[in-house]
Amino acid sequence: MKLAFKLPICAVGAAALSLAGAVAGSRWISATESQAATATVAAVPASGDGTLFTAFVSVLRNPRCMNCHSQGDFPRQGDDGHQHAMNVRRGPDGHGVTAQKCSTCHQEANLAGAHMPPGAPHWGLPPPNIPMIWQGLTDAQICRSLKNPKENKNRNIDQLVEHFTKDELVAWGWNPGEGRNPIPMPRDEFVAKVKQWQAAGAPCPSDTAQKAKS
C-alpha cells in the first residue's frame, strides 16, 4: 500500500523538477537524482505478486533441505535424493526408531571424511504428525504450508523468518561437510530475500498455471 501511494508522488515530483530544470539549467542534476531514486523504488517487486517468495524458493528445493523435507517416512541422501541407506525411518518423534536413532550416527557437527555422517544440533526429521513435507508441492503450496500454523508448529511469520535465518539445521545447508554440495545461493543473499518477503507481508504466489515440481 505504502509503495503504491508513494510512486505517483515521486513521478509527479520528478516531472516537476524536470520542468523546473528546463527553466533553470542548474536544476538538471537534482532532476536526474530524483529520477534515479524513483527507478530504485520501482525496481522493488510489488508486494502481493509472490515473486518475493519465488526469489528464494530454489533454496528450499535444494537437496540439502529437501532430503529432510521430502515425502515418505524416511530421510533422503545425496543430490539425487535417494532413500537413506540402512532403512533409517522417521520414527515417532522424527529422530529415528528405538534401534536406530539419528544421533547414533549424526553428531552436532559434520564428521570429517567422505561418506561420513553430516551433523548439526537436533539432527532429525520433523515429527510424523507435522512432517513439513515440501516435495511435490507447487511454490504456492510450499508458501502456504510454511505460513499455516497447523503445518509449521504454530510459528508466526517472525518466528518462521527467525528459523530461516538462524536455525542450525538450515545453516548446515551452507556447510554440509565433505563431498556434499552446499546451497549455491549465498546465505546472506538468502537471508536478505527472506527479510524482503517478510517486510512485504510474506505474500504467496498464486496457484494458476503452475505445475507441481519434484
Q: Is 63 one of the binding residues for ligand HEC (CB under 6 A)?
A: yes
How far from 138 is each of 69, 131, 150, 184, CA to CA, in Å?
14, 17, 19, 21
Taking the CA atoms of 69, 70, 71 and 76 in sequence, report the sign of the dihedral they define: negative
Q: Residue 17 CB, nearest distance to ligand HEC (Å)?
A: 44
What is the rounded CA–CA span in Å between residue 98 and residue 9?
64
Q: Is 133 one of the binding residues for ligand HEC (CB under 6 A)?
A: no
Stretch that binds ligand HEC, among 6-14, 40-48, 82-90, 201-209 (CB under 6 A): 82-90
Q: Is 115 one of the binding residues for ligand HEC (CB under 6 A)?
A: yes
Stretch that binds ligand HEC, among 1-9, 23-31, 98-106, 206-214 (CB under 6 A): 98-106
Q: List, in order, residues 6 or more apart from 176 with CB less than 8 Å away.
A: 64, 110, 118, 182
How far from 52 is each of 6, 9, 132, 146, CA to CA, in Å?
20, 24, 21, 14
Comparison of 27 and 101: residue with beta carbon closer to ligand HEC: 101
Q: Is 71 one of the binding residues for ligand HEC (CB under 6 A)?
A: no
Q: List, in order, residues 6 or more apart from 125 with CB less than 8 Å away.
A: 68, 75, 90, 91, 94, 95, 102, 131
Q: Is 105 one of the binding residues for ligand HEC (CB under 6 A)?
A: yes
Figure out which of the listed residues 17, 34, 57, 123 binds ligand HEC, where binding follows CB under 6 A: 123
Binding site for ligand HEC (CB under 6 A): 59-60, 63-65, 67-69, 75, 77-78, 84, 86, 88, 90, 94-96, 100, 102, 104-106, 115, 117-118, 123-126, 132, 146, 151-153, 155, 160, 163-164, 169-170, 172-173, 179-180, 183
